Amino acid sequence: MAHLEESAKKRILISVPPYFSSIYLPYVYGLLRQEAERDPLIQDHYAWLDPIYLFAEPQRLLAPYRGQRIDVLGLSCYDWNWELQIEIARQVKAESPHTLVVMGGPEPPYRDKGFFDRHPFVDVIVKEDGELAFARILKEALKEEPDFASIPGLVLPGKDGACSTGEVEKIKDFGPVSPYVQYPFFEELIERHRSNLRFAAFWETNRGCPYKCRFCDWGSNTFSKVRLYPMERLRSEVEWFSRHQINRVFIADANFGMFPRDVEITEMLIEARQKTGFPADVHWMPAKNQIDRVREISERFYGAGLLHSVIVGFQSTQDQALQVMERMNLGQEKHKKVIRGYREKGIPLTGVLIMACPGESAREFRQSLHDLLEMGFHDEIRTHLYSILPNAPAASPEYMNEHGIEVIERPMNQQRVDRSLIKNPFGGRSHFIVGHKTLDQAGLKDEMCYAVHIFLNHNFALSRFMAIFLNQEFGISYARFYGEYYAYLRGHKTLVGEAFIGVDQKMEEFFKDPDTHLVFDLGKGAALYEPEEYALHLTLGNLGRYFEELAQFLDGFLESKVKRDPRYQDLLGFQRQVIVTEDYDPRLGREFTCRYDWANYFCSDATPVKLLPVGYRLVANDTHRGFGLSQMKIKWHEMDTPGERFWNFFATVVCHRYYRYNTTNLTSFRRELAKEVSPEDLLAQ
């Protein structure tokens, strides 16, 4: 067969815009192209245009292709780029009616019968794994009268609305060559942007997930057989990431650590970093029921500087909610044992919960927060609104009706929203649960405020050390301490109570206005801030008042025997002194005295330290906040004006979520005895 001239070939454009200004290498483009070009007929009849891989207005993204023929447009769709992809499809089809528009990814709604009526510029939706189906579409499109209905795994327009062509055929065996390695385009892209961008790469070591959590749609591969990539391919990819200085590797497996070989894969990444310094950061989702292996992987990653914290996705700790979402967690006692092991190694932990879980009331959500504190999640807890993904099991009409689920569509609440996205119609939108049979909107508002309460006072450390001490030494549960503290802050005219009023008002706006982002404009800089960050900003501006009100609460809350305890009185001073403030100067540090060795006590909470009234002079010498890629040098003391100093201070300590490990409290201490002590005291210490 004679080969076609390049100019005669059909042109394929793949669109994979990321979220906002991040830049992930367009992995989907490589996967689709690699599978399609296994067929000589496709290779001979198609040419691949450079893909769309940046975030911008549609006109700007399409400008490089003006005047070029686009015969096939493939769009990889997620909630963060859905509106953008829709508009790209609309504009391409308007300019080029002959273009075959194919959508894939987790966002195109497979169940929506009226989708093609509302989007007549879309021709085909590919379900789940897209490689085989997309290759068959390309081959079928070469015919004079293509019959896409003969290809399994598609959704097509029909006389009675959208109709499915059956179950998708999935790749069983992945080839030994990576698209990153095979196609020079990826190297060219890196060189094009190296001077001004950090790069991230999606990386699969396996595909599939044996679990069927209702909220999840992990690449449309939940409750499916897990298929492994060959180790030869993985080794070549790690070497490629390292050689091309890829900053972040996002392991896209649903359960990394599920297989024994994952420890070997971990070592590949560590060895690569040791050789070149790259990758600088690894993001992964730990396997749910492989405790020992996940801990081993975590320890190795953390020891190599590749891990910020271990993320543990509980979603809820309440049995009824877990049953409704068809998810099983380890028991709390097992989790406590595991977490104790992490803390002994000094590895930060992040526990994750979902708000508005069907089957969970606002009171039970509070208990989930308290349970995580009791397990030892003092560093960071994250909560997310329950986002209904269009093809997840939770989105089925039967499930929605059974649990009385109420959903609203709102702008996405991604990490650190930029103010330029507020008015951007392509910033991404999600469908959030705001009510169900056991929760109304007032209950969700309470969940949000109570979560802010825990984040502010415990994770941001304003009352963390007092709460831990009272729990460990006097058996006062976190549920009692924070429950009564919340009632006090709500029931009195307090600084934090004012923040709660602001959060209440923002939630009311969120319920009523379809364009409201659940973030706060603090009046300076490009970033908009999350509710707990808004509360922290308000509090850091008046810490004296905050600690006066904390002391007033404790005076009424605690029994007299606790208040008479000299350790309690000493800890009040430590709790205040340990919080970083805008007057902290790293050149001078901060010096203060305590009767008890609180620095050692709270650093050793996996194995409690006996407190002796020896007397210590503590000298804090912290020079940075955060760690890893998010680490920032303290520079606020260099600012010229008080206003500039405060804003630099706030932006430095607030940090990004999932990276907030001890950002608001001092951590680096030099401890000196403040007086002569006996050998017996030193031995006891």
pLDDT of residue 2: 55
Contact 444, 434 (CB under 8 A): yes
- Between CA 233 and CA 512 the distance in angstroms is 50
Residue 219, pLDDT > 60, answer: no
Of the pLDDT bands very low, low, confident and very high (cuts 50, 70, 90), residue 413 is confident
Residue 499, pLDDT > 50, answer: yes
Burial class (CB in 10 A: 0-12, 13-18, 19+), 640: exposed
- Between CA 187 and CA 203 the distance in angstroms is 16
- Average pLDDT on 408-434 reads 84
Distance of CA 264 to the CA centre of its chain: 25
**What do you get for the CA distance between the two ends of the chain, in Å?**
84
Amino acid symbol at 304:
A
Distance of CA 405 to the CA centre of its chain: 24
Cα angle at 455 between 630 and 312, to 5 degrees? 70
Contact 243, 199 (CB under 8 A): no
- Token output for 407: 């959903």
pLDDT of residue 657: 61
Determine how β-strand 206-207 pairs with β-strand 669-673. Answer: unpaired
Contact 618, 591 (CB under 8 A): yes
Tokens 């999350």 identify what position? 530
- Average pLDDT on 423-439 reads 92
Residue 404, pLDDT > 60, answer: yes
Contact 388, 431 (CB under 8 A): yes
- Between CA 520 and CA 417 the distance in angstroms is 10
- Between CA 329 and CA 603 the distance in angstroms is 28
Query: 418 or 128: which carries more pLDDT confidence?
Result: 128
Contact 531, 503 (CB under 8 A): yes
Distance of CA 438 to the CA centre of its chain: 27
Per domain, the residue ranges of the chain are: 6-164, 172-307, 563-684
- Enter the pTM of the model: 0.93
pLDDT of residue 249: 97
Residue 69, pLDDT > 80, answer: yes
Burial class (CB in 10 A: 0-12, 13-18, 19+), 35: buried
Query: 287 or 682: which carries more pLDDT confidence?
Result: 287
Tokens 């060795």 identify what position? 597
Give me the architecture of the 6-164 domain, per CATH.
Answer: 3-Layer(aba) Sandwich (3.40)
pLDDT of residue 683: 41
- Between CA 617 and CA 594 the distance in angstroms is 7
Contact 372, 381 (CB under 8 A): yes
**Cis before 279? omega within 30:** yes
**Cis before 179? omega within 30:** no
Phi-psi region of 257 (alpha: psi -120 to 50; beta: other; left: phi over 0): left
Query: b/e per residue, 448-473, with b = 16+ CB within 10 A?
Result: bbbbbbbbbbbbbbbbbbbbbbbbeb
Contact 403, 685 (CB under 8 A): no
Question: Distances in Å between the alpha carbon of 287 and those of 29, 269, 390?
Answer: 27, 18, 24
Backbone angles phi, psi at 267, to 5 degrees: -65, -35
- Token output for 449: 């405020």
- Between CA 462 and CA 576 the distance in angstroms is 8
Helix (H) or strand (E) holding 335: helix 332-344
Backbone angles phi, psi at 436, to 5 degrees: -160, -170
Helix (H) or strand (E) holding 540: helix 531-540
pLDDT of residue 675: 64
- Between CA 235 and CA 226 the distance in angstroms is 20
Determine how β-strand 124-126 pairs with β-strand 72-76. Answer: unpaired
pLDDT of residue 374: 94
- Average pLDDT on 125-129 reads 94
pLDDT of residue 685: 40
Residue 236, pLDDT > 80, answer: yes
pLDDT of residue 684: 46
pLDDT of residue 274: 98
Neighbouring residues of 365: CB distance < 8 A, sequence distance ≥ 6: 316, 318, 353, 355, 357, 447, 450
Q: What is the largest CA-CA distance in the chain?
A: 95
Of the pLDDT bands very low, low, confident and very high (cuts 50, 70, 90), residue 220 is low
Q: What is the per-residue pLDDT across 627-682, written as a single tens digit (0 to 9) for each?
A: 666 788 999 999 999 999 999 999 999 876 667 788 999 999 998 887 654 445 44
Burial class (CB in 10 A: 0-12, 13-18, 19+), 117: exposed
Tokens 């790469």 identify what position? 201
- CATH classification of 172-307 is 3.40.50, yes or no? no
- Average pLDDT on 549-570 reads 97
Phi-psi region of 517 (alpha: psi -120 to 50; beta: other; left: phi over 0): beta
Determine how β-strand 46-48 pairs with β-strand 10-15. Answer: parallel
Determine how β-strand 154-156 pairs with β-strand 248-251. Answer: unpaired
- Between CA 212 and CA 192 the distance in angstroms is 41
Query: 655 or 279: which carries more pLDDT confidence?
Result: 279
Average confidence score pLDDT of the chain: 92
Question: Which range in 6-20, 323-337, 442-456 is most confidently predicted, on average pLDDT?
Answer: 442-456
Backbone angles phi, psi at 94, to 5 degrees: -65, -40
Distance of CA 183 to the CA centre of its chain: 30
Least confident segment among 380-389, 498-507, 538-547, 672-681: 672-681
Residue 385, pLDDT > 80, answer: yes
